[in-house]
Amino acid sequence: MELITKFLDDLKTFSLIRLFNAAAILVIGYCVVRLVAHFVRKLLNKTGLDKSAQKNIVKAVKAFGYFVVLISCLGSLGVPVTSLIAILGAIGLAFSLALQDVIANLAGGLLILTAKPFSTGDFIEVTGGISGRVTRVNFIHTVVNTLDNRRVMLPNGALFKGNITNISAEPCRVIELTFPVSYFADVRQAKRVIEDVVTADPRVLKDPPVTIGLTALSYVSADVTVRLWAENQDFIVLKSHLLEQVKGALDQNALSVPAYRQAQMDAGERK
């Protein structure tokens, strides 16, 4: 209460000269802040920092600069800046206690922008089963668009504490496919058939080479697993295409597990 009383008493020293001084500080300060923000933006462009992070940093620089200009204007008008800062500090403390989650998200946003576990445009998977492409990284939250085009806003505090899988971090990914072939079929022939189909697709990378091997045996099938590398943008389409093509090739060569035998085996296991 004493701070507010002292603040109101000091306002009585207002004069016209101080008004002109404050106007000059406001105009000059505005120009200086804009110039500094432009300079900071140019520096950030050279760092290769994420675009969203660059925008947020520039916004923070502007906000701080405008706050300094405002305080300077109020000081030139005779407003007791010390008392004003004390009042703002008390208000800020009250808000900080009420907005703990927001502060936690802000801290998480700063850590994300600093550590850079992902950038705008990356495809990520996070704790909770959410996956999608990052469209924007703010100080408080990260915006992700899912594969079915839903926009999800993830709070940065919880996001940074959880597990983050950046699927787009590397240019290539492994595709691993397992095909059950008849237990009585020639496994070497099945491997050749699978290899012919896989290596014929130009989207399959030559290096690292394709590997094919027998990975499991059951009463009705022998599981043959193929591991291959593909570029990230081809992963989903290529995986689906190879599943279809290899199944067709195995069927044509009478290497697939007969459906009725598999059904009988499944029924026996349920009993």
Q: What is the pLDDT of residues 16-66, one digit of tens each?
A: 566 777 777 778 888 888 888 888 888 877 766 666 667 777 887 888 788
**DSSP annotation string for 151-170:** EEEEEHHHHHHS-EEETTSS
Please name each of the domains of the chain with its CATH number.
2-98 (1.10.287.1260), 118-166 (2.30.30.60), 172-270 (3.30.70.100)
- pTM score of the predicted model: 0.57
- In this prediction, residue 6 has a pLDDT band, given cuts at 50, 70 and 90, of low
Tokens of 38: 């432009």
Separation between Cα atoms, residue 249 and residue 49, nearest integer Å: 48
Between 180 and 80, the higher pLDDT residue: 180
Rg (CA), the chain: 32
Tokens of 248: 């067709």
Separation between Cα atoms, residue 112 and residue 260, nearest integer Å: 53
3-state DSSP call for residue 176? strand
Per residue in 202-248, pLDDT tens?
A: 999 998 999 999 999 887 889 999 999 999 889 989 999 999 999 99
Residue reference for tokens 């697709």: 201
Counted residue by residue, the chain has a size of 271
Per residue in 85-104, pLDDT tens?
A: 665 665 565 555 445 566 77
